[in-house]
Amino acid sequence: MSRAQISGLVFGVGGFGALVAATASNEWKVTTRASSVITATWVYQGLWMNCAGNALGSFHCRPHFTIFKVEGYIQACRGLMIAAVSLGFFGAIFALFGMKCTKVGGSEKAKAKIACLAGIVFILSGLCSMTGCSLYANKITTEFFDPYFVEQKYELGAALFIGWAGASLCIIGGVIFCFSISDNNKTPRMGYTYNGPTSVMSSRTKYQGGEGDLKPTNPSKQFDKNAYV
């Protein structure tokens, strides 16, 4: 079981959950209208609905009735966040198939490719979320610091920070998954069996016993009495 892959899965799934929460949240930009504590009013706006509440506890939300009257940057952020959530979902599925501790996904080489694909998908999910949240935040800050902007000014909401955090987690998890394939590329060492030293006499005996045409010579016949006459 690879600890790197488990860490990548935790970061990726945690980031995916944060992206879902940020996309569904209505606190992308907030403002406060307060002449006193009792008459304070909070206004929240998100990608899908506009909400308002007061200090007495009443809270009301109104969805965007039509997409054609929604501003262009909101539609762009919608598309980016939906893409981020979709990619995060598929990245989590690929990560489960590519982990070493699961029995699905095929061989170790195939699992390494799936894990690398999961890492790339997680990184793309984080980049989509980072782009969407940054685009929305740039619009808010531009209107807030514009002295000629006379309409209601808003501040950064909690959903933006949740989206940035989720994007960072997805990118970190994707990088961990991409680098986890190095563990699968390590080739195992070949094992060799040591049979011990072999003597010269044993090797000579094996050679003479293995050859059928060669017969062992008798050293006594080489030194008979005729050799000295």
Q: Does pTM surpass 0.85?
A: no
- What is the predicted pLDDT for the residue at 40? 62
Is 109 buried (19+), middle (13-18) or exposed (0-12) by CB count in 10 A? exposed
Q: Which residues contact 10 (CB under 8 A, 6 or more apart)?
A: 173
Mean pLDDT by 10 residues, the chain (229 residues): 80 94 92 60 86 78 78 91 95 87 75 88 95 94 86 88 95 89 54 49 48 50 51
Third-level CATH fold of 3-27+71-186: Butyryl-CoA Dehydrogenase, subunit A; domain 3 (1.20.140)
- What is the predicted pLDDT for the residue at 38? 56
Is 88 buried (19+), middle (13-18) or exposed (0-12) by CB count in 10 A? buried
Distance CA 176, CA 76 (A): 29
List the strands of the sheet with 29-33, edge to edge: 59-63, 49-54, 41-45, 29-33, 155-156
Q: Do 49 and 190 touch, CB atoms closer than 8 A? A: no
Distance CA 86, CA 125 (A): 8
- What is the predicted pLDDT for the residue at 68? 75
Distance CA 15, CA 85 (A): 10
Q: Do 128 and 41 touch, CB atoms closer than 8 A? A: no
Helix (H, G, I), strand (E, B) or coil at 35: coil
Distance CA 16, CA 211 (A): 74
Name the residue ranges covered by the structural domains of the chain.
3-27+71-186
